[in-house]
């Protein structure tokens, strides 16, 4: 029975860690529409990835048909449209993803610890479930506090 619980907890951790991200659906829907970049409001936080592989973050200033202007760490940056591979809106970190992953890791660790203790003594099954639930709660709290990944929304991707 302890092997089944350990296998179940491990499967839960991997399922949560490798769950498809909602941003993947948004990214698939995003097209090469430069008008979406031009429609941004000044002051919005953006992430720009160039075709050379550079990643720049800053606040949006303006965009024309051929270029984008934004401020990165107090420096004004101007890039041509041809050099840009991707433009995203920075929406912050995802606390829900962090909480789910933290709960999975903490729960798996707690169940594993409980199963280990159970195998060395004559204890009832609450010795397995108690640490698992406690670990899941602690892991969810830590994961929500740290956040996991981000909630960036792709608004332009070069064709």
Residue 80 sits at the vertex; the CA angle it makes with 78 and 84, to the nearest 5 degrees, is: 105
Average pLDDT over every residue of 137-152: 79
Specify the pLDDT at position 84.
92
Domain of residue 91 covers 1-38+84-159
Would you say residue 48 has pLDDT above 60?
Answer: yes
Within a domain: 120: yes
Would you say residue 17 has pLDDT above 60?
Answer: no
Within a domain: 117: yes
**Position 60 confidence tier, pLDDT thresholds 50, 70, 90:** very high
Please name which of 66, 148, 139 lies closest in space to residue 105, comparing C-alpha atoms. Answer: 139
Within a domain: 11: yes
**Position 122 confidence tier, pLDDT thresholds 50, 70, 90:** confident
Within a domain: 16: yes
Give 35-78 as a DSSP string: HHHHTPPTT-EEEEEETTS-EEEEEEEEE-SSEEEEEETTEEEE
Cβ count near 62 (within 10 Å): 13
Within a domain: 53: no
Within a domain: 23: yes
Please name which of 43, 17, 1, 39 lies closest in space to residue 107, comparing C-alpha atoms. Answer: 17
Specify the pLDDT at position 115.
84
Instruction: Give me the number of domains the chain comprises.
Output: 1
Sorted by sequence, the CB contacts under 8 Å of residue 22 that are 6+ apart come out as none
Within a domain: 156: yes
Predicted TM-score (pTM) of this structure = 0.51
**Position 150 confidence tier, pLDDT thresholds 50, 70, 90:** low
DSSP 3-state helix, strand, coil percentages of the chain (rounded to 5)?
50, 25, 25
Distance, CA of 105 to CA of 136 (rounded, Å): 7
Would you say residue 55 has pLDDT above 50?
Answer: yes
Tell me what the pLDDT averaged over the chain comes to.
Answer: 78
Within a domain: 73: no
Cβ count near 32 (within 10 Å): 9
Tens-place pLDDT, residues 106-121:
989 988 888 888 888 7
């Amino acid at each position: 029975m302890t092997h089944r619980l350990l296998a179940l907890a491990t499967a839960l951790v991997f399922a949560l860690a490798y769950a498809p991200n909602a941003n993947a659906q948004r990214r698939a829907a995003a097209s090469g529409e430069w008008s979406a970049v031009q429609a941004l409001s000044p002051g919005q936080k953006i992430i720009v990835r160039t075709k050379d592989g550079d990643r720049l973050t800053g606040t949006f200033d303006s965009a024309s048909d051929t270029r984008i202007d934004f401020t990165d760490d107090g420096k004004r940056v101007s890039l041509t449209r041809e050099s840009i591979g991707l433009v995203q809106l920075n929406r912050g970190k995802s606390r829900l993803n962090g909480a789910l992953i933290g709960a999975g890791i903490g729960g798996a660790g707690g169940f594993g610890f409980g199963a280990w203790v159970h195998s060395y003594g004559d204890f009832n099954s609450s010795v397995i479930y108690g640490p698992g639930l406690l670990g899941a709660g602690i892991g969810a709290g830590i994961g929500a506090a740290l956040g996991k990944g981000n909630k960036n929304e792709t608004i332009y991707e070069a064709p």
